[in-house]
Structures are given as C-alpha cells and as structure tokens.
Amino acid sequence: MDPMTFSIIRHRLFRIVDEAVITLKHVSGSAITNEGHDLMVSLYRADGTLLMGGVGFLHHLTSAAEACKSIIRRFEGDIHEGDIFLLNDPYTAALHTSDIYLVSPIHHEGRLVAWSACFVHVYDIGAVNPGGFAPQAPDIYTEGFSSPGIRLVAGGEMRQDVLDTILNMVRSPEMVTLDLRSMIACNNVARDRMQSLMTKYGAKEVDGACAELVNQSEDLFRARLRELPDGQWQSRQYLDVNGDTARVNLTMTKKDDRLIFDFSGSDPQSPYSINCTKWASLGGLFAPLFPLLCYDITWNEGVLRPVEMIAPEGSIVNCTRPAPVSVATVGAIQSVNNAACSTIGKMLGASEKYRNQSTAVWHANHFAIFKFGRNQKGGDSIGILTETFAGAGGARSFADGVEIGGEIPNPISRMANVETVEAAFPVRYLFRRRAPDSGGPGEYRGGTGGELALVPHKAPDGGINYVISGKGSRHPMSEGLAGGYPGAPNSYVWVKAPEDGANTPVTAAGGLDAISGTQERVSWGVYPLMGRDALYVRWNGGGGHGDPIVRDPEAVRRDVAAGLVTLQSAGDIYGVALRDGAVDETETMAKRKSIRSARLQQEASE
Amino acid sequence: MSGQDRISASVAVKEGQAVCAACGHDLGPATKPWKDHAHRREIPLALAGGQAYDTGHEGVLLRHFYCPGCAALLDTETAMAGDPALDDILAARG
Amino acid sequence: MAGTGETSYLVATDVGGTCTDTVIFGTDGVIHIGKALSTPPDFATGVLNSIVSAADPMGLTLEELLGRTHLFIHGSTVVDNAVLTRDGTPTGLLTTQGFEDTLHVTRGAYGRWSGLTEERIKNPVQTDRAPALAPRDAVVGIPERMDCDGAVVLPLDEAAVEQAVRFLVNEKQVGAIAVSFLWSFLNADHERRVRDIINRVAPGAYVTLSSDIAPNLGEYERTSTAVINAYAGQITNDYLTSLQGLLAEKGYDGATMVMQGYGGLLPAAEAADRAVGMIECGPAAGVIGAKFLGDLMGDPDVIAADMGGTTFKVGVIQDGKLEYAREPMVDRFHYLAPKIEVVSIGAGGGSIISVDPRTKVPHVGPRSAGARPGPICYGQGGEEPTLTDVMLLIGYMDPGQFLNGSITLDREKAERIFKEKIADPLGMTTQEAAIGIYRIASAQITDLIREITVERGLDPRDFVLHSFGGSCGMLAAAFGQELSVRRVVIPYTASVNCAFGLVSADVAHEYSVTQNLPATTSAAQINAIFAPMEERARAQLAAEGIEPDRMRMEWSVDLRYSRQVHEVTTEVAANTPLDDAGAARLVDDFEALYERKYGRGSAYREAGIEMTMFRLTARGLMPRPTLPAEEEGSADASAALIGNREIYVETKGGMAPGDIYDFNRLQPGNSLKGPAVIHTPITTIALPDRMTARMDRWRNIVVEFDAD
Ligand SMILES: [Zn+2]
C-alpha cells in the first residue's frame, strides 16, 4: 500500500488510542485511574486480534484481545452496531474480577470492522474484602460479581436491568457507575474516530493498513529475535503468603525467530488468591516483553505470533476454577512478569548489539494496602496506598537503576504527595524516603525502594483499618543480573505502642527502630492502625548488575553520603572503606582482596 | 552463537567455551550449564549484608557462583535449600 | 502618557530562543517593528540591538527613541535559559526532617517519564530523571512539623536551622537556599523564621520560601518550585538590574514592566524576586497577542498555532479566556505557578525526514536540523532533508523569494539528496514522495491539535485558527481545513507576535488561598477569604501607580466533586463581594463547566462538591494601543500577482499551476482564490484549491473555505 497513506493511518491509530485514554480519565475522575494510571485502552481487528496497544497497564493488552475473541465466540451472529459488552471473568479472559473489560464492536457501513476495549480497576466489585483485592477469599465465588460476557449496551442504549443487577452487587454503586460510564465514553470515542478514519480513507484501505501494521510488527520482531543469540535462560520467583511459599519457574528458550516461555515445574495453585489464569500469565510475560524487546515496534498481534507459552494446568500460573485470583495482578501475574523480565534481561545481556537494553528486575513486588475508615472531616475515605506505584528501577548493564523509579509494566505511574494523603485520611507520616540498602548491590546498583511510617492523626474513630495483600516479605523478588544481588524484599511492620502511655510519635528520624513499641510483622488480611500504633512499610529496590566489589568506590562513597547505602554494607558487600567521608584506597584494595580470597575458601558444593 | 555473544556481562564465550569475563578461566562448553564449573556458595539471606535483607525468616538463601580462577562473582540467585541452580546456556550454532 | 505635540513611544521587546523582537507603538498610531538575534547568556545586548533595528528606519538613534519612550515592556527567556544550561546559583534546600528525599524522588516515576515523548516512554530502560537543581547532599532535614490543619505538631528547632545554614554555606558553598516544609502553605511561621535565621547567619544568600512562591498543596511540586526559584533568582535579579541600568544610560527614565508566564505584567523589581513567574513568558505573550487580535476581529475562540524551525506550539483561547497549565514544567522540572497552557512539540521546518530502513515507512521528525545546519536548501551545510526542503520541492517556496531574497535557496541540492535518501528508498518519484511527506506532516499536525482540543473538551469546528511563525503558513490552510475550523488567519504581526502580545497585556498579580470547604459555604465566608487578598492587591497596584478606576479584581474558585480528582477553575461571574445567589451561581457554573470539559455524565454529584482553592487575579489595566484600521478597497488582487508556477494542489492529486502573489503589493479588501501562494517577507502562505484569501482592514490574511 501507499507508504504515505500508511504512515498517516498509523499515526492516527495511535492518536485514537490517546484520545480514548484522555476520555477515560476525564469521565472517571478517580484517583486510581488518573494518578495510578491503572487503566488500558487498545484497538483490535475484526477477529479480535490486537491492533494497537496503548501505554496503560501492559498486562492487559493480550487479555483484552482474548476478551474480544470470547465475545465473538459467545455472541456470534448477534453482535450489532452500538453494542458494548462487559467481561470480567478471570477464567474467560480477565485478570481479576475488579478489572472490568468493556469491549465494543466498531461497524462501518453495517459491517463489523474492528473492536475497541478498555479496562479500569473499578471502585469495588462486591468481593469479601472491599476494594477488589480479597486476601480473605477462599475461592472465586467470594471474589465478587463476575461475568464471562454480558451485553451492557444494546444498539447504543444502556440495558438498565443489567446495569442495576451489577450495581446491586457492589459497594458504592455510584462510583462503579462512574467507572462504567467512563469506559463507555472511552469506547464511544474510539468507535467514532475509527469510523471517521474509515470514512476518510475507506474501510478497505484502513483494514489493509492494519494488516500491514501487524505484519510489520511481526517481521520486525522476528528480525530482532534472529539478531539475538539462541539459547535457554532460567529464572525463578518465590511468592510467600501467610507462611506458604509458591514457586514460579520459568525456562525461556529462544531459537531462530521464536521465543518459548515454559513455566513447567511451577508450584500447584495456592489456597490464597495470588493465583492467576493462563490468559493472565500470557499478559504477565508480555508486559516486560513489549518495552524491553519491542520498544520501537508497534505493540500488536504481530509481536504475539513468534511467542509460545507453556503453563501447566492446575499450577499457580494456570489455575483452575474455583481457585481464588483476586490478588493475581500483584501476585502470580507480577511474578510471571518478573521472571520474564529476568530471562529477557539475560538474553539481551548475551547479545553484543542489545546488551545496553538489558535490565535487572524492577519493582518486583507491589503491596496492595487499601486504607478505609472515617476521616478527620467525618466522611468515609477509602483508597490504595499509592506508594506501591512508586517502584524502583532495576540496574542496567551500563547504569544504576532509577531510585524509586517506577516499574516496567506500567510505564507512566506516580505516587501521591504526603499532603494529599494527609488531607484525605486521618493519618500522619513520620517519614517517607528512599530506603537504605534496598537497591540490589552490584557493579551497577539497583534503584532503591522507599520506606514510610504512618500513625493515626485526628481520627474520629481513633484510627483506620486497612486490607493488606502483602506477599513477598520473606523472599527478595527483584532479581539481579550477572552476579548483581536482588533488591531487598518488602517489609510490613505493625509497631504496637508501649503500654506505659507514651504519646504518639511525632518524628522518627532514625527510621523504624526509632519508633518506640514492639514490632510485629503483618502481611495478609485486615488490620487496624489505631491509637498510638504505627504502620511501617518498606518497598523493594531493583536488582543489581554485576559484581559489587568492582563497583567504582567513588560511586559507593556517593551512595553512603546520600544515605542510599549504609556504611556497613559499603564495607561488607562492596568492599569499600571510607574514612572521614572519603574513599580510603589502600584499605579498599585490601578489603576487596580479602573478600575475594574468602569467596574461594569454601569447597564447591557441586 | 556469534563471535560477539556472551552468556552475561560476567561470563564470556571463547571458541565455544564459557569463560570468566575477568580472567578467562574455563567454565566448560557454553552449551552446557557453566555453573557446574563455578565455585558455589550459599549464605542465609539475613547474613548477606546490611539490615534490609534480614527479614526475620529462615530458609531463604543467597546463592553465589564465583570464578574459581579469580573469585569474580559471576551470578547470584535467590534460592531455597535444595532448589536447583538456574541454568543459562547458549545453543550450538548450526 | 505622551507630552503635548511630540510623539511618545511604548517599546516592547521579547527575547526568544533565536530572535529578539521589538514592537514600537507611537502615540501617532504608527507601529514599528525590529528584529535581532538573541545573544545568550548576555541577553541585554540583543535587546538593545533589536530596539536599534526598529529605531533605525524611524530615523531615530537609540538615545532619541528612549528619550521619548514612556513605557518599556519586556519578556525574556533568561530563567528558562538558566535552568536549561544549568547556569544558576548553587542551591541548597531545607525541608522537614524525614522527607529529605521528596525533591529527588519526584513522586516516583513521574519525574522519570515527564517531559519525554511517547516513543521514549515506551523504552523505560533508557530513561532517567534529570539531576535535581539542588544536589541531595545539599538537602538538610530540619526537626519541625505542621499537620493538615497547619497546627504545630513539632516546634521548629532553631539551633538545627542555624547549623544547617552554616553547613550549606560553608561546606556546600551554596549561594541560594530554598525552604520548603510540609503544610507551610497553611502556616508559614516556621519557614519565615528560617528566613530570618538565614538573613542573620548568611546575609548574602538568596532565599526562597515555598510558602511565598507556591502557597499550594503538594509538597513535591511546591519544593521543586522553591528550588527552581532559588536557583535562578540571582541571575534574574542581576539581569533585570543590568538591563535597566543600560536603558537608563541610554536615556530611558520610565518604568520597566516584565511579562509573566500567566500573561500579565509585573514591575521589574517584583519580577526579579519571582523568577519562576518568567518561565515561558514568550509563548504566553504569543497567546495574549492572538487573543488581542481575536478580540479585535470579533473571534472569541481561537487556536493559536506557531511553527518555526524546530517547534510547533499551540495555545487555545476559548470564549476570550486563556487556559492555565495544570502541571507546568521547565526543562524536565515540575513547578507550581500560574502559566498559560502552550503545548509544544518538536516539529518545525527543520524537522528531518527519514525512511525507516526496516519497514520503508517515512517519518517526519522527531529529529531536527535546527537553525544550524538547518535545511539542505539553506546551503549552510545541511545534508539531511527537512520539511522546509519538501516545501521547496512542492513549489510552496520560491528559491529567489525567501526572506525578501536575502538567501537564495539551493533547490538542486535539496532535490538530489531528497531523491537519494527518501524518494528512491520508497520507490517513488521525487515529486510523489515530497507531496506524500507534506500530507503526512499536515495529518500529524491535525492529529495533534485534535488531541489538544479533545483534552479540553472542545470542538475545533468552533474555532478560528491563527497561524504564526515562518513555517506555519504553508500548512495552516491544509490542516485547518481537515480540522474544519471556521477560518484561518495569518496575522500581519505574525513575525513579531510575542512582542505584540507584550503591549496588549495588563499588569496582573495572582493570589491564591488553599482551603478545603464544602460547596455549601456561605457567601460571607467566601468573601472573608477574598477580602484580605483584595486588600493586599489594591495596595500593591496602588504602589505601582495604578489608579483605582483602572483596577480590576477577578475572582475564581477551584471546585471539584469530592471523590474525583479533576479540579476546575471556575470564574466568579456574579458581582463581588458575593451575595448568596452569587455563591449558588458559582456552583452551577462549575457543574456546567465540568460537564463541558469532561463529558456528559462525568460528574458524581452524590459525593458532594468541594472548593479547594480561591484565586484572585488583580489587574491594573494598561492603556491599549489601537491598531490602525485601513479602508477596504477593491477585491481585485491582480496588482499583486507576480507569476504562476507548478505547486502541489491536493484536489488535483499532484502538481498543478498556481498563482503567485506578493504580500507587500496586496491592499486591504483584495481577494484571491486558490490554488495560490502568497509570499510575505517572513513566511509563505499556501492557499489550496477551493479556498479564498482576503486581506482585511489590519492587513491580516483571512482564509475562508468555499462552500461545497
Ligand atoms: Zn575469573
């Protein structure tokens, strides 16, 4: 086709997705959509294959394609212009029940020509715990409303009975209405723009450009794979919940222009809601694959074609009904994404041409903490602790990871200001800062994570409660590369005030240990933050790259000065001696020499 | 594998053999798990250094693989006792 | 104002990235224009050169002109430049203990991806934050704490402050100190006491308090603003002082007013202490200039598009109102200060055309040949085809007519390289390929403007498009038509629009109070918030010599639905101080505005409405110069017809004959039909088929689309 017209149509398809995202954010107005950017909008071809993925939560690009396909199968012959379908059943295509897909067919001159799909994390879905993440759910039946596909809008008219039925099952139906309304508006914008694109250039021409775009992505991705070495790379993730530990094992094989992700050997599905379905696993592995391998390739079906996934049925990465999955997005899906990031990072690191694209694992462990309770103004407040979106960058083969630098699967996220949180919730921060020693040591250090402590403040009920789905406080999950250490794991501590009636702490410059009281680890369930107690959270740093004892001693000195690495770790892990704030070169050399000789003193165990 | 490929920043490939990138120590064929030829050491995570790794839980290990020639740290894994090593190998050209 | 008899002058000079423009209005109604190259970092030289270039044709020396000048208005990129080149004063930061990392953490990834193109955001491995203007080792946490009501939780540790100041000044050698404490915008007592201590311990240090410069909620943005201001404060001070000194030396004894990013003027002495206010004041002045023209021509809804060599900028004026940026940035740093929204992307005449070797898909930009080496046809060493070269190849530019014939364009070389690098790889003829590239550029600008209007809930069909800058005229009619705007205007003053905007601005001060109140708040309570602001504002304006009858107090309130994040600045339309009906109307107006901006059904009323910020814009009206209007004469434009050549005509699907006109020979009332090209001294206007261009009473070119 004419390369000029192709270029114009391609650009316009990108903008259509952008405009739909803007509409979604505008109409919704919710904090999680606008601040956390927990959303996704994309376009699909008439057969449901991915045409154009936007910059949203990348886990969803492939799952929403499956949502389109399953709607096509279910409603074959009964799909009409102006219809909008809702789907949120994880065993059909969705990631978990609270991420609702609305998919809408796009017709031109009476013919089905494309689909648009979007999701937001809705305010509530009626699960046993509020907010969508349900650590106390034993099965899918207690994780709220779910549908494998239902017509919400018929020929442009809202089906009020269907809507009322859904709203009847959720907390705060007004907020869920708003979420649904925003998704409808978003799909309408995508449909209108696609239709005017086809009117201007012709449906056949546009579809031709779409086919070309998909083929082009496939060709480019296969060409890139051929440039990379053939081989096999392994990674492993440990997910601990309430004392149980589950493994996600991955062997990634690259041969010629194909890539196989094999999760054989992963543990059986868990009694806890960290499991994920196979569509969710597929989404999880593509989330890092798009930005790491296809950063300059349009994200569509063409990228999917060279990739195969093997996920054993009944395992934590391909669970079977009725296993609970509500924490999947920060559970098994995130581990799949970490594991894939690790093997892809290894493969890129093995290539002369692409080694600078290689990265250790970023922010591997979200902590989903939903605070809820009456606030200082007497109103109800509920919301996620947005520090979970703050993340940490993995070290790269040429540079340190970005401190508190976000995550790979959600390219544009951010956390709320302390003042914003304190204005809306009856809490006060004692500190919020970068956590020392949290970035994985290496020649290039992983980006640090952060730490914070909260106390109740002017709370009418003496404090608030929170739902925590905080797995991963035992095992580091942000793996390093080429010898780099993993980032330090998450930590969630309930500091119980001493009996003797001391006041609520007002400051804690020394960190966790400066808060008086007894420390108790928490991770899973519903807990109070009341009275004079404090909640401490530390989130993981990124993985390191290379051997820490070859890190530039000057960089270690700077890290210590900036409070990113402790003096003890500078000596023990990096082998750097500091004296009066300067590097002691002689002693550093001696220290590194002695670390080297200690390394070989023990017999090889295999 | 092409002439410029390597296993990682720490393990190079020379004439089909995996070698330490720092000193050239031979680590066996690149098409086989090189970790069998490395010096392996496991330490409890809590002792890995700094306070941040001390989670208060036992049984989590940091597994290091060192070059027997120069003691360079070639790879680090998070592991539980008895879990196999993670193997990264390049395919034979051909 | 002017004395009797002798003409006196208003001189306005705008320092832009490349050029420094001057507009002079005489009390005799005549406008004079001057232009010179900008001379960073010593911008004052360029300012004087520019004024001289305007004075010359008037037959006046600089001294003669300045001796008869009653007002000097100035806009400058000095602050932007100090930040971009990292040329500011070494700066330290004092902040609340426990939150020392706030500036450097940038609310997580926000500071890593902000300001990057979508292409770069899609490759996170290659992205980093910009290093902060205050290094982390020059940040000291101070024991102190306020809570969300501004109540003291932990008193200020003055000894710690003194020690920290000594450390910053002696050990870290800082020359400027920013102070930013949590909740200081509700209770500034701690910050003010810190300023007193700094003044005592380190009297030479430049100090900025976050509660002074950005008294708003959100500690990251507030801190970042204070740091930028501290960093650029001294340079700005020095610059304005030395410029005024130079002007005084040349005989000027009047006031100097300085343009702010929100489109208002401040006396130089005040502007010097609010460096962040000057950021991007040039583009803001450009939008003000477009608004002035829109008002003059009776068009309250204007899309102002400016395309020069490297950037494409768009500002939107709706119903005569300007929109403020929600999350302004300079370089890659966020700040909080009222600033007119101007969206800028890297697309201009210098945008490099390339063909992706893997896919054979052509691209326009994002790389630019800039001013140097520039397009191939300029013959300054450019070896990569640019959009300007394409304009030459499709007949829109005349090799002999460029910039009044001051440079002869090298068409042969442009064609040869374009063929080799673009047309051949695409398997097309040079002409086909050039036409295709033009179509792509036009379509991409259409997409961009559509996205900008969608973001604001606007429909481009309601707007008039103003085209500014050297490259815009060749595309404006084409993308204007695809956007279905009402008409396209290429203003007579397009070449010096920013300087023109300076003279159409008023003195303006912005005040705000952050306070969270329900929508049911009584009129009396709202009035009580505004009263002290008004009092301050009136005193300020009076001190600047503004008579009470020229003062205007404009109230507005930010409102939002309680559980939604979008805040909408809603103008108070009722008379102030408010009565209860006026307060109720404010809430109604907010609701209407919200739906218009965010779409039908976007409001969640059940959650309640709250007011979050109370804003006062205090204006001192400046005497507005009048643009002389001429009589419109005959429609016959044949006197300006200078030729006919092959140009790209979309309706013909290729090259076809087009009439060529000389702008300088057109007279008000002349009308001409496309396909045609009009050469002006600074740009070229391409008029497609089925469009009509007319010169209006102010010598603007107005393009209308013929009815089907
Ligand atoms: Zn070695």
Q: Is C403 a residue whose pLDDT tops 80?
A: no
Span between the terminal Cα atoms of chain C, in Å: 52
CA of A348, closest CA in chain C: separation in Å?
12
Q: What mean pLDDT is predicted for residues C552-581? A: 90
Taking residue A18's Cβ as centre, other Cβ atoms within 10 Å add up to: 19
pLDDT at A263: 98
Do A483 and B70 make contact, defined as CB atoms within 8 angstroms? no
Do C118 and A14 make contact, defined as CB atoms within 8 angstroms? yes
The model's pTM is: 0.94
From the list A247, A491, A600, the residue facing B55 with the nearest CB is A491
Q: Is A156 a residue whose pLDDT tops 80?
A: yes
Q: How far apart are CA C265 and CA C258, in angstroms?
A: 5
Q: Retrieve residue A254's tokens.
A: 């690259």
Strands (E), C27-122: 31-37, 69-75, 91-96
Q: Is the CB of residue B54 less than 8 Å away from at least one CB of chain A?
A: no
Query: What secondary structure, in 3-state letters, does C144-189 show?
Result: CEECCCCCEEECCCHHHHHHHHHHHHHHCCCCEEEEECCCCCCCCH
Using CA coordinates, name the residue in chain A closest to C454.
A19
pLDDT at A320: 97
User: Of A115, A119, A118, nearest to A50 (Cα)?
Assistant: A115
Using CA coordinates, name the residue in chain B closest to A476.
B78
What average pLDDT does the structure give for chain A? 93
Interface of A with C in 344-363 (CB under 8 A): 357-359, 362
Range of the domain at B31: 11-80
Residue A105: which residues within 8 A CB-CB, separation 6 or more?
Answer: A79, A80, A81, A83, A112, A114, A115
Minimum mean pLDDT among A178-192, B29-43, C30-44, C45-59: which range?
C30-44
Using CA coordinates, name the residue in chain C closest to A405.
C109
Do A247 and B72 make contact, defined as CB atoms within 8 angstroms? no
Tell me whether residue B2 is in a domain. no
pLDDT at C345: 82
Q: Is the CB of residue A336 less than 8 Å away from at least one CB of chain C?
A: no
Q: Retrieve residue B21's tokens.
A: 């990138």
The answer to whether residues A57 and A21 touch, using CB atoms and an 8 Å cutoff, is no
Half-sphere exposure in the Cβ direction for C104 (13 Å, CA): 27
pLDDT tens-place string over residues C369-387: 877 788 999 888 899 999 9
pLDDT at A35: 73
The pLDDT confidence band at residue B94, using thresholds 50, 70 and 90, is: very low
pLDDT at C708: 67
* Residue ranges of domains in chain C, CATH in brackets: 9-82+238-278 (3.30.420.40), 90-219 (no CATH), 286-331+340-345+447-495 (3.30.420.40), 351-440 (no CATH), 507-620 (3.30.1490), 638-705 (no CATH)
Tell me whether residue B49 is in a domain. yes
Q: Is the CB of residue B46 less than 8 Å away from at least one CB of chain A?
A: no
Q: What mean pLDDT is predicted for residues A10-26? A: 88
pLDDT tens-place string over residues C408-465: 889 999 999 999 999 999 999 999 999 999 999 999 899 889 888 877 778 899 999 9
pLDDT at C562: 82
Q: What is the CA radius of gyration of chain A?
A: 25
Q: Is the CB of residue C425 less than 8 Å away from at least one CB of chain A?
A: no
Chain C hits for A29, Cβ within 8 Å: 561, 563-566, 598, 602, 604
Residue A196: which residues within 8 A CB-CB, separation 6 or more?
Answer: none
The pLDDT confidence band at residue A606, using thresholds 50, 70 and 90, is: very low
The pLDDT confidence band at residue B1, using thresholds 50, 70 and 90, is: very low
- Of C355-359, C457-461, C522-526, highest mean pLDDT: C522-526
pLDDT tens-place string over residues A371-407: 989 988 888 888 889 999 999 999 999 999 999 999 9
* Integer CA distances (angstroms), C266 to C281, C505, C509, in order: 12, 10, 7
From the list A352, A486, A568, the residue facing B4 with the nearest CB is A352
Chain A hits for C426, Cβ within 8 Å: 3
Do A573 and B55 make contact, defined as CB atoms within 8 angstroms? no
| AA letter at A379 | G
The separation between CA C654 and the C-alpha centre of its own chain, rounded to angstroms, equals 37
Tell me whether residue B86 is in a domain. no
Strand partners, A105: A115
Strands (E), A29-98: 39-45, 50-53, 84-87
Query: Buried (b) or exposed (e) across C587-616, using 16+ Cβ within 10 A?
Result: bebbbebbeeebbeebbbeebebbbbbbbb
Q: Is C547 a residue whose pLDDT tops 80?
A: yes
pLDDT at C402: 66
Burial class from Cβ neighbours inside 10 Å (0-12, 13-18, 19+) for residue A123 reads buried
Q: What mean pLDDT is predicted for residues A562-575? A: 95
From the list B8, B39, B76, the residue facing A604 with the nearest CB is B39
| AA letter at A457 | H
Residue among A434, A545, A600, A605 with most chain B CBs within 10 A, to mutate: A600
Q: What mean pLDDT is predicted for residues A236-245? A: 91
Q: Is the dihedral of CA B79, A291, A103, A30 positive or negative?
A: positive
Tell me whether residue B89 is in a domain. no
Tell me whether residue B91 is in a domain. no
Q: How far apart are CA C237 and CA C225, in angstroms?
A: 17
Q: Is C655 a residue whose pLDDT tops 80?
A: yes
Burial class from Cβ neighbours inside 10 Å (0-12, 13-18, 19+) for residue A464 reads buried
From the list C99, C448, C455, the residue facing A432 with the nearest CB is C99
Do B88 and A346 make contact, defined as CB atoms within 8 angstroms? yes
pLDDT at A518: 94
Residue among B20, B31, B34, B78 with most chain A CBs within 10 A, to mutate: B78
Q: Is the CB of residue B77 less than 8 Å away from at least one CB of chain A?
A: yes
Interface of A with C in 537-566 (CB under 8 A): 561-563
The pLDDT confidence band at residue A463, using thresholds 50, 70 and 90, is: very high
Phi-psi category of residue A83: left, alpha or beta, with phi > 0 → left and psi -120 to 50 → alpha: beta
CA of A605, closest CA in chain B: separation in Å?
6
pLDDT at A492: 95
Q: What mean pLDDT is predicted for residues C606-635? A: 89
pLDDT > 90 fraction of chain C, expressed in percent and rounded: 72
Phi/psi for A558 (5° steps) reads -60, -40
Q: Retrieve residue A475's tokens.
A: 């095992």
pLDDT at C5: 63
What average pLDDT does the structure give for chain C? 91
pLDDT tens-place string over residues A505-555: 888 888 999 998 999 999 899 999 999 999 999 999 999 999 999 999 999
Counted domains in chain B: 1
Q: Is A605 a residue whose pLDDT tops 50?
A: no
* Contacting partners of chain A (3+ CB pairs under 8 A): B, C
- C-alpha A252 to ligand 1 mean position (Å): 27
Q: Retrieve residue C55's tokens.
A: 């004075």
pLDDT tens-place string over residues C150-166: 999 999 999 999 999 99
Preceding amide of C577 cis, omega within 30 = yes
CA of A47, closest CA in chain C: separation in Å?
25
Residue A445: which residues within 8 A CB-CB, separation 6 or more?
Answer: A395, A400, A401, A439, A544, A548, A551, A555, A559, A564, A565
Tell me whether residue B1 is in a domain. no
Chain C hits for A396, Cβ within 8 Å: 125
Do B91 and A483 make contact, defined as CB atoms within 8 angstroms? no
The answer to whether residues C395 and C648 touch, using CB atoms and an 8 Å cutoff, is yes
Q: Is A25 a residue whose pLDDT tops 60?
A: yes
pLDDT > 90 fraction of chain A, expressed in percent and rounded: 77
The three-class DSSP label of residue C258 is: strand
pLDDT tens-place string over residues B45-58: 998 887 889 888 88
Q: Is C598 a residue whose pLDDT tops 90?
A: no
Chain B hits for A536, Cβ within 8 Å: none
Q: Is the CB of residue C152 less than 8 Å away from at least one CB of chain A?
A: no
pLDDT > 70 fraction of chain C, expressed in percent and rounded: 98
CA of A397, closest CA in chain B: separation in Å?
8
Q: What mean pLDDT is predicted for residues C199-227? A: 96
Q: What mean pLDDT is predicted for residues A66-86? A: 95
Strand partners, B65: B40, B75
Q: What mean pLDDT is predicted for residues A230-252? A: 94
* Integer CA distances (angstroms), C446 to A119, A357, C434, C442, C686, in order: 28, 34, 18, 6, 16
Q: Is the CB of residue A375 less than 8 Å away from at least one CB of chain C?
A: no
- C-alpha B27 to ligand 1 mean position (Å): 9
pLDDT at C632: 94
- C-alpha B78 to ligand 1 mean position (Å): 22
Q: How far apart are CA B88 and CA C42, in angstroms?
A: 59
pLDDT at C2: 38
